[in-house]
Structure 1
Amino acid sequence: MKLYFEDLKPGRVFKSGPILVEAAEVRDFAERYDPQDFHLDEAAGAASVFGTLVASGWQTAAYSMRMLANSELANIANGLVGLQIDKLMWHQPVKPGDVLSTEFDVMSRKHSRSRPQFGVVQLAWRTFNQHGDLVMSLENAIWVAVRDV
């Protein structure tokens, strides 16, 4: 079932996951996008402030995006069209072996003044590890088609 602006009422929560974080993926992502020693090498990670190999925060964001794309929110009629991201925070490091899950809360919505066939929906993302610890959060605005124009 396709989702439209009218379906995304404030207070609605979408959940997704789990995703297992694997050491090889952490190193591969770091080699390509964030080549810092504590993302690339177990010994360097152990000697770092983290005390272990850790995933890049950007990889945590990518995992969260994957879970969004696997959630019911992926059924938005016009696709997942992002407009902006605010308040991105990495609360705790993500380590190999962690199992991540996400919650996406509809915070607010408003009709577009310039394009009445669309609305802007504000989402709050929260990504947790297997212990229920918050590891990442952000807020973002998405562009959503209106069903009844």
Structure 2
Amino acid sequence: MKVPAKPEYVGVIRLTISGIANRLGYTYDDIEDIKIAVVEACTNVVNHAYEAEEGQMTIGCGVYEDRLEVMVADRGQSASVDVLKDNVGPISTDKPVTQLKEGGLGLFLIDTLMDKVEINNDNGVIIIMTKFLQRGEVEQNAGGISATTTDRQ
């Protein structure tokens, strides 16, 4: 699905992914987790991928017997994956809200709610989020964002 990178399309994407997850038999809580992660990924595109020009975001779903993979991609300003990963971190409960980091909370949420997260920034940013249908099928190494980058000279 390819839609304009505008806030009014995020709800359409959320509803579509929710319907697919429901069809696959995910629990209510898992569907809510998937929806939040997808909304965060789409909101990152809307807010950060394109500056002046109008852009599009591409959403794809991989439907498998044991998992759902959701891809959110843009062709906007490429952020460094290493910088993105450095900004992802747990929220410190000993600091007041005014001292929390502004960036990275969306990626932190995505990483927390999904079983596996991969980011590629070869041309724009592509984030692939995986949620396994049965909790016992979560890979041991699934905790943490993996990244693929290509150095362009």
When the two structures are superposed, what TM-score results if normalisation uses the length of structure 1? 0.32
Structure 1 or 2: larger helix share?
2
Larger Rg: 1
When the two structures are superposed, what TM-score results if normalisation uses the length of structure 2? 0.31
Q: Which has the higher contact order (CA 8 A, sep 6+)?
A: 1
